[in-house]
Structure 1
Amino acid sequence: EGLSLEMAGRELRYNLWYYLVKKYDFQKIALAHHLDDLAEEIFMKFIKGTGKRGLAGIPIKREDLIVRPLLFVTKEEIKKFALERGLTWREDETNKDLRFLRNKIRHILIPFLENNFNKKIKENIRKTAFLIAEEEELIEELAKSNFEEIKFSLEGDIALKLHELKQLHPSMRRRIYFLTFKSAGIPLFRISYSHLESLENLITKKTKGPVYLPGNFLAYRGPGYVIFTKKLFSFPYFEMAIPEEGEYTLPNKQVLKVSKALYTKDFVKPEKSMCFSAEKLVFPFIVRRKKPGDKIYIPSLGHKKLKKLFLEKGIPRYLREDVLLIEHQGKIVGVWNLYIHPEYEITDKTKEIIILRIV
């Protein structure tokens, strides 16, 4: 995904730590970030462009799992402590490589500022970062409260209520974007200002979208919501006969599970599924992709073009190719989570149902 060597290494390290936590049931992971790292991080963020969150620097704890007990101690203080106790000090050779921005800040920018402006610049940065972090904590709680009110689950993906989101101040929206990224599993440290700007343009209709995000995610607008989901890859036209219950691998590598169940009034429809009356939808039937001229039946109106249904439901053009259709006896009886032929719907008289579920 075009990651820098430094960014890729950081992502691998965090992935390893979370893997070790799960494998060995660790309660905490203590990292050795120190005050010099904090100062370098803030300068890096400032040079690349950042907001208040970035100026808070490295958090002293992360998700109550990662802690940084040495964050307010300088590298020289740590080195002195180690050498006084006969410990061997090791220096990573890559720390001297000036091809990396962090090393330019460490060996050129900070020494220049200390020699020409303020010898205590690291300590002053620590104080500033601490004050900003305290304010951030308060604002973050407000953002979490708003986030809980406007988020909802849509077919297993996280979505935000569009009207309510637009009522919030832009700065609060940006914080909610970050909470959404975290909830969806989007790598936070790979988010840039351009991603946030693109989301704002999507919300305010300056662009149609989608917005492509790190980690093979994308965001797009639906009717009354904006959704964050794994990037979809279109597959060519296909038809797949479904002769019986079982699991069927689709061209996009997703698995379609087909099963029957007795219908009761307390039945709860599973996520990422469609349900039909088993008295009407009988084997075999076909699952396929759309093709030119497809139509659906609407009571009192007759037949309607599938394209018109997509327009009415606000389905973006770039998502239409991936919508599954269910065909039975030559007619479309289902458009994935958009339409069910009235004769195939579940009613109070239904005794058995067929469940199609993406797993």
Structure 2
Amino acid sequence: MRLRDILQFIRANGLIRPGERVLAACSGGPDSIALVHLLARLASTVPFHLEVLHINHRRGPAGDDAEALCRETAARLALPFHRRELAPAPPPRANREEWMRQRRLAIFDEFRRSGFHRIALGHQRDDQVETFWLRLLRGAGSTGLGGMAPATTDGRIRPLLATSRSEILAYLRAHGLAWHEDATNRDGRHRRNRLRHRVLPALAEAGFGDAAAVVARTADLLREEAAALDAAVERLLPPLAESADGIRFALADFLALPEALQGSVLRAVIRRARGDLRRLERQHVDRALRLLRAGRSGRRTVLPGGLEVRLGSGVVRLALGPARSAAFEYGLDVPGRLEVPEAGAAFEALDGPPPAGLTEPHIVVPRPDGMLRVRSVRPGDRIRLSCGTRKLKAVLQERRIPVFDRDRVVVVCAADGNILGMPELSLGLCYNDDGCLGADRLITIVRRAE
């Protein structure tokens, strides 16, 4: 492993620009020790400012030994040193590895906000090869098989991604550098370790000695193809409505796409809603596709990361969590105005019939006694219409209000609980207007945008 090869890889992939602040994540393992040493040698060439971070996972004396080695390495190279630590255990029922990964990413984000441009990680070519095989055996497509990129949009870089583990170990020995061996890397209970210590050596013994290099090149090609496919898929996305409660699109627009492309399009929408596709497997996408193709309103499925895919009245919504609003109820004077944050609107009660030129949704009803009640829909609600008394649920279904929006629909009631109507649907109580109701006997209730 030559220093100029690492420099060429950094420049070819735009990993570090002159004058940037770089934070090297150092676990104490061979890859991260080599990373810190190499970047320290290159810092004056690019040039850039380098500091070192160690995250102590609090695994007892071994973890403290690794931290001491990282601190000593930074001191020997005259580099500023930072430490953070993770809580000793994740919350109950949490996936330990994923929880630790998310905590590490949160720490990286903390340093990025403090002014660091890049977070350098020690992933190398053998890690890439192992990731390829693990994802292949899991049934990943081209995006997953493309593995790790040299750089990510959130500032993480991998300067050693084209360097093999054997080259790194040779570099450490040549420079007399010590490293810490993590005992968990030998634990046969982990699939990656079984692949590393049993499967890949067996391939080499069977005569496929260059398999690692071939797989690494294949991952690079697949990553390039996946990027091109993603760009093409973006142009096929149905019109999306993005808001605080998720992303929506019309089911008909989605089903009009060729079936062969629907999975790729859905993955693109999931990535936009979630921010990434981590832990999303083909089986999850297929499950969501079956739900959408069945077209049954009210059905839902939850994908990894807590992303809910739900279908309602021809509309598909992707949201992190059910995103339901709590039940609400407020009083409204006549005349008067009321802000209803749960509905994202204001409601105004006016004396008399609607004023000339009123275009906003409204209802006109006989003036009730007492204060009006403005509340959310409740199970069993009914309203008297010209066709008879109807359940509000049936009315909302006929108006094609998606099930996930019904908890935001506002019902206006008289003080005695009698439902007067739903202004946003311009649907009001049916009353007998025989000409005896003068303007002073009517009120207008208007829904106004906030």
Task: Give TM-score scaled by structure 2 length.
Answer: 0.62
Task: Summarize the Cα distance change of 1:239–1:155 in structure 2 as closer, same or farther, 3 Å threshold.
Answer: closer
1:78: how far off?
A: 1.8
**Aligned partners of 1:223 and 1:314 also within 8 Å:** yes
Aligned-pair distance for 1:42? 0.9
Structure 2 residue aligned with 1:90, among 176, 180, 183?
180
Equivalent-residue separation in structure 2 for 1:336 and 1:80 (angstroms): 75
Q: Secondary structure at the match of 1:259?
A: strand
- Deviates most, 209-218 or 121-130: 209-218
Aligned to 2:312, which of 209, 219, 222? Answer: 222
Q: 2:101 aligns to what?
A: 10
Which amino acid is 2:266 matched to?
Y
**Amino acid across the alignment from 1:202:** L
2:214 to 124, 135, 147: 124
Cα displacement string for residues 209-256 of structure 1 (whole angstroms, at most 9, x for unaligned residues):
2011233331111233211123338799x6744479xxxxxxxxxxxx
Match in the other structure for 2:272? 183
User: Is residue 285 of structure 1 aligned with residue 389 of structure 2?
Assistant: no
Superposition RMSD in Å: 3.4
- Aligned-pair distance for 1:52? 1.8
- AA aligned to 2:250 is K
Equivalent residue, structure 1, for 2:339: 259
Partner-residue secondary structure (3-state), 2:97? helix
Contact 1:324 1:336 in 2 (8 A): no
CA–CA separation in structure 2 for the residues paired with 1:224 and 1:321: 14
Match of 1:332 among 419, 424, 442: 419
2:142 alignment partner, one of 52, 70, 91? 52
Offset of residue 161 of structure 1: 2.7
Sort the Cα spacing of 1:233 and 1:345 in 2 relative to 1 into closer, same or farther, 3 A: closer
Structure 2 partner of 1:305: 391
Cα distance in 2 for partners of 1:114, 1:212 equals 41
The verdict on how the C-alpha distance between 1:199 and 1:326 changes in structure 2, with shifts beyond 3 A counting, is same
- Number of the residue aligned with 2:346: 275
Please state how far the C-alpha of 1:171 moved relative to its aligned partner. 4.6
Which one-letter code corresponds to 2:290 in the other structure?
N
Per-residue CA distance 1:72-124 (angstroms, 9 max, x = gap)? 11112122223322322222221111111011111111111111131111001
Q: Is the 8 A contact 1:259 1:354 kept in 2?
A: no
Do structure 1's residue 20 and structure 2's residue 121 form an aligned pair? no
Structure 2 gaps of 5+ residues are 1-91, 352-362, 364-369, 430-443
| Mapping of residues 198-209 of structure 1, within 5 Å | 198-205=287-294, 209=299
- Pick closer, same or farther for the CA change 1:234–1:143 going to 2, 3 Å: closer
CA gap 1:301/1:333 in 2 versus in 1, 3 angstroms: same
5 Å-filtered alignment, 1:47-86, equals: 47-63=137-153, 65-86=155-176
**Matched residue type, 1:54:** G
How far apart are 1:154 and its partner, in Å? Answer: 5.4
* SS of structure 1 residue aligned to 2:209: coil
Aligned to 1:29, what secondary structure does the other structure show?
A: strand
2:261 counterpart residue number: 172
Cα distance in 1, alignment partners of residues 93 and 282 from structure 2? 17
What amino acid sits opposite 1:30 in the alignment?
A
Secondary structure at 2:378's aligned position in 1?
A: coil
Contact 1:156 1:271 (C-alpha < 8 Å) held by counterparts? no
| 1:48 alignment partner AA | R
Structure 1: distance between partners of 2:196 and 2:303: 30
Following superposition, the deviation at residue 316 of structure 1 comes to: 6.7
1:164, distance to aligned residue in structure 2 (A): 2.2
Counterpart of 2:358 in structure 1 is none
Q: Name the SS for the 2:167 alignment partner.
A: helix
Q: CA deviation at 1:322?
A: 4.5
Q: Give the conservation status (yes or no) of the 8 Å contact 2:246–2:273.
A: yes
Residues 125-153 of structure 1: CA deviation (Å, up to 9, x unaligned): 01111111121111111112223x52122
Partner SS, residue 326 of structure 1: strand
Q: Secondary structure at the match of 2:179?
A: coil
Once residues 275 and 210 of structure 1 are traced to their aligned partners in structure 2, the CA distance between those partners, rounded to angstroms, is 31
Q: Residue in 1 aligned with 2:84?
A: none
- 2-structure distance, mates of 1:60, 1:210: 36
Structure 2 counterpart of 1:263: none
Alignment gaps of 5+ in structure 1:
245-257, 261-269, 347-352
2:445 is matched with: 344
Amino acid at match of 1:193: R
